[in-house]
Amino acid sequence: MASWGRVRRRPPVGDLDVATEPRRSATQPAHDATPRKAATRNTGANPEGPLTFCATLTELAAEHVRLRRANRRSTADILGNADANVSLTSYGKRIASVWKTIETIGAGEVKPRRVILWLDDPAAMADLPPSLRRLQARGLEIRSCPDYGPHKKYFPYVNEILPEQPDQTLVTADDDVLYPANWLKDLLSVHDPCEVTAFRARVRSDGPYRTWPLCTTTEASDTVFATGTSGVAYPPAVLHTLQDRGDEFLRVCPRADDFWLHYATVAAGIQIRQVRDTAALWWSTPITLNRGLWDGTGAANDAIADETRRYWLAA
Q: How high is the pLDDT of residue 37?
A: 55
Q: What is the pLDDT of residue 36?
A: 56
pLDDT score recorded for residue 9: 42
Residue 295: predicted pLDDT = 41
* Alpha-carbon gap, residue 37 to 189, rounded angstroms: 21
What pLDDT sits at residue 39? 59
| 240 DSSP assignment | H
pLDDT of residue 21: 37
Q: All domains of the chain, ordered by start, with CATH?
A: 84-313 (3.90.550.10)
Residue 174 carries which DSSP code? -
pLDDT tens, residue by residue, 93-147: 999 999 999 999 999 999 999 999 999 999 999 999 999 999 999 999 999 999 9
- Per-residue pLDDT tens for 180-201? 999 999 999 999 999 999 999 9
Distances (CA, A) of 114 to 81, 82, 83, 101, 216: 9, 9, 10, 15, 31
Backbone φ/ψ region at 138: left (φ over 0), alpha (ψ -120 to 50), beta: alpha
Instruction: Please report the pLDDT score of residue 185 as a whole number.
Output: 98
DSSP assignment letter at 207 = S
- In DSSP terms, which residues pair with 171 in a beta bridge? 86, 233
Low-confidence spans in the chain with pLDDT less than 50? 1-31, 33-35, 287-296, 315
